[in-house]
Chain A
Amino acid sequence: ETGVTQTPRHLVMGMTNKKSLKCEQHLGHNAMYWYKQSAKKPLELMFVYSLEERVENNSVPSRFSPECPNSSHLFLHLHTLQPEDSALYLCASSQDSTGLNYEQYFGPGTRLTVT
Chain B
Amino acid sequence: DAKTTQPPSMDCAEGRAANLPCNHSTISGNEYVYWYRQIHSQGPQYIIHGLKNNETNEMASLIITEDRKSSTLILPHATLRDTAVYYCIVRDFNQGGKLIFGQGTELSVKP
Count of interface residues, chain A, beta-carbon cutoff 8 Å = 23
Tell me whether A2 and B49 are in contact in the complex, defined as CB-CB below 8 angstroms, given that A42-B103, A98-B96, A102-B91 are known contacts.
no
Tell me whether A92 and B43 are in contact in the complex, defined as CB-CB below 8 angstroms, given that A42-B103, A45-B99 are known contacts.
yes
Choose from A2, A4, A88, A104 the contact partner of B99 (Cβ within 8 Å).
A104
Tell me whether A106 and B44 are in contact in the complex, defined as CB-CB below 8 angstroms, given that A42-B101, A42-B102, A43-B101 are known contacts.
yes
Inter-chain contact A109/B99, CB cutoff 8 Å: no
Say if the beta carbon of B45 comes within 8 Å of chain A.
Answer: yes
List the B side residues contacting A53 at CB < 8 Å. Answer: none
Inter-chain contact B49/A43, CB cutoff 8 Å: no
Number of A-B contacts (CB under 8 A): 46
Distance of A105 Cα from B42 Cα, bound (Å): 12
* Shortest CB distance B42–A (Å): 6
Main secondary structure of the interface of B (DSSP, over half): loop
List the B side residues contacting A88 at CB < 8 Å. Answer: 41
Task: Find the B residue at minimum CB distance from A98.
Answer: B96
Inter-chain contact B93/A2, CB cutoff 8 Å: no
Say if the beta carbon of A21 comes within 8 Å of chain B.
Answer: no
Task: Find the B residue at minimum CB distance from A41.
Answer: B103
Distance of A97 Cα from B45 Cα, bound (Å): 17
Inter-chain contact A45/B46, CB cutoff 8 Å: no
Distance of A107 Cα from B46 Cα, bound (Å): 12
Distance of A104 Cα from B96 Cα, bound (Å): 13
Say if the beta carbon of B98 comes within 8 Å of chain A.
Answer: yes
Tell me whether A98 and B93 are in contact in the complex, defined as CB-CB below 8 angstroms, given that A42-B102, A104-B99 are known contacts.
yes
Inter-chain contact B44/A45, CB cutoff 8 Å: no
